[in-house]
DNA sequence: AGCCAGGCTGACG
DNA sequence: CGTCAGCATGGC
């Protein structure tokens, strides 16, 4: 990986094991949208609107100042050796089936407050609808950015969400999560330092996050993995539950505790590995056919 | 038309 | 400690 800034463009070359389209649509981040050229992605990273375009092993990010290069390189996790991680997956007989579909996945490093709120919204929800709620939240109180002939919105500051009412949040479709979002925003606006969780142990950081209303083990793990550098945080949702059952337990029923133990054995990058498993599970629509089979026949 | 979704809360054992 | 009904909403 090497990079240069030419004009206002950050050009990063030698980017291997990276598929921008997969990373933007896999459900780790909810705000990347397809540009009208049909291949570039528009997004807002810590308040900065950017256009990201991948051409083979080259990633271009526009615009970018000298000062922002490190921020963007970190956001896309470009310094990490994913060849090493994919090698680890390929050499594990239980996980190798995931790689053809999931190769090129990377775990982005998002802003902690954005990750926390968007994953509170994610609870018992689907990715498309989560994206819709997040979009309406940003339109409601995020800073407007005119860029590339389009109107984008930054993710709202904690204080901006804290100014809303529960009814406002219900209005944008947040449903029963509305009070959770509001309570969490108020606490962060009030000075809670999410960055301080970066240096805590995984278990301490999880425990701290689970004190927020609407945050259980899964949302805590997502926040830690997707924004706070805890690469061993291993979120277990319904997709991962099905995948682990099939890949690790020969389709026998397995409890959360057993899954956690199996995940720990995957090592310090287990959370990143989880993202490959998640992508695979969704790609092959894991479990859907089996569930359809046991469904009783419809009456005439 | 139902079932499902990147689950969590609060109540109750 | 573990279990579990109930939960808003809309995609498919």
Residue A35 has pLDDT above 70, yes or no: yes
d(Cα A99, Cα A90) in Å, to the nearest integer? 7
Residue A284 has pLDDT above 60, yes or no: yes
At residue A286 the predicted structure's pLDDT band, cuts being 50, 70 and 90, is confident
Residues A36-60 have pLDDT tens digits of 999 999 999 999 999 999 999 999 9
Interatomic distance A242 CA / B3 C1' (Å):
17
CA A33 / C1′ C2 distance in Å: 42
Query: pLDDT band for position A295 (50/70/90)?
Result: very low
Measured CA to C1', the nucleotide nearest A128 is C11
Cis omega (within 30 of 0) for bond into A63:
yes
pLDDT (mean) for A100-129: 98
pLDDT beyond 90 at A289: no
In whole angstroms, B4 C1' to A146 CA is: 37
Per the prediction, chain A carries an average pLDDT of: 95
CB A223 within 8 A of CB A198: no
- Do A166 and A196 meet the contact criterion of CB atoms below 8 Å apart? no
Instruction: Give the pLDDT score at A222.
Output: 98
Closest nucleotide to A133, Cα to C1':
C9
Distance A170 CA to C7 C1' (A): 14
Cβ-based neighbour number of residue A213 at 10 Å:
14
**Each residue's pLDDT tens digit, A232-251:** 999 999 999 999 999 999 98
Q: Cα–Cα distances in Å, from A37 out to A9, A29, A52?
A: 18, 21, 12
Residue (of A173, A162, A103) closest to A131 by Cα position? A173
At A123, give phi and psi (nearest 5°).
-60, 125
Query: Is pLDDT at A197 greater than 70 in this prediction?
Result: yes
A248-264: pLDDT as tens digits: 999 888 899 999 999 99
pLDDT beyond 50 at A192: yes
Q: Where are the alpha helices (DSSP H) in A125-216?
A: 127-141, 158-162, 166-171, 178-189, 202-209
Give the mean pLDDT of A64-69. 98
Chain B bases closer than 7 angstroms to a protein Cβ? 3-10
* CB of A52 closer than 8 Å to CB of A155: no
Per-residue confidence (pLDDT) for residue A298, from 0 to 100: 38
pLDDT per position as a tens digit, A116-144: 999 999 999 999 999 999 999 999 999 99
The pLDDT score that the predictor gives to residue A290 is 59
């Amino acid at each position: 990986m090497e990079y240069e800034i030419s004009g206002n463009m950050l050009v990063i070359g030698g980017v291997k094991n990276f598929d921008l389209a997969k990373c933007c649509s896999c459900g780790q981040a909810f705000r990347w949208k397809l540009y009208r050229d049909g291949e570039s992605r528009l997004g807002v990273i810590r308040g900065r609107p950017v256009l990201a375009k991948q051409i083979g092993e080259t990633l271009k990010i526009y615009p970018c100042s000298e000062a922002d290069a490190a921020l963007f390189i970190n956001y896309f996790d470009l310094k990490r050796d994913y060849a090493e991680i994919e090698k680890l997956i390929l050499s594990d007989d239980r996980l190798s089936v995931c790689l053809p579909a999931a190769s090129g996945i990377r775990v982005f490093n998002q802003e902690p407050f954005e990750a926390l709120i968007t994953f509170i919204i994610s609870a018992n929800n689907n990715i498309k609808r989560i994206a819709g709620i997040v979009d309406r939240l940003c339109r409601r109180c995020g800073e407007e950015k005119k860029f590339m002939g389009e109107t984008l919105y930054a993710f709202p500051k904690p204080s901006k969400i804290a100014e809303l009412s529960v009814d406002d949040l219900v209005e944008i479709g947040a449903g029963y999560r509305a009070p959770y979002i509001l309570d969490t925003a108020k606490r962060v606006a009030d000075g809670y330092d999410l960055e301080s969780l970066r240096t805590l142990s995984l278990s301490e950081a999880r425990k701290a996050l689970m004190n927020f209303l609407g945050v259980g083990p899964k949302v805590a793990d997502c926040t830690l993995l997707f924004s706070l550098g805890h690469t061993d945080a291993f979120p277990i949702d319904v997709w991962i539950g099905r995948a682990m059952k099939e890949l690790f337990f020969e389709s026998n029923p397995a409890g959360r505790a057993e899954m956690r133990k199996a995940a720990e054995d995957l090592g310090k990058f287990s959370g990143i590995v989880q993202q490959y498993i998640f992508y695979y599970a969704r790609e092959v629509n894991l479990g859907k056919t089996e569930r359809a089979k046991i469904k009783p026949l419809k009456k005439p």
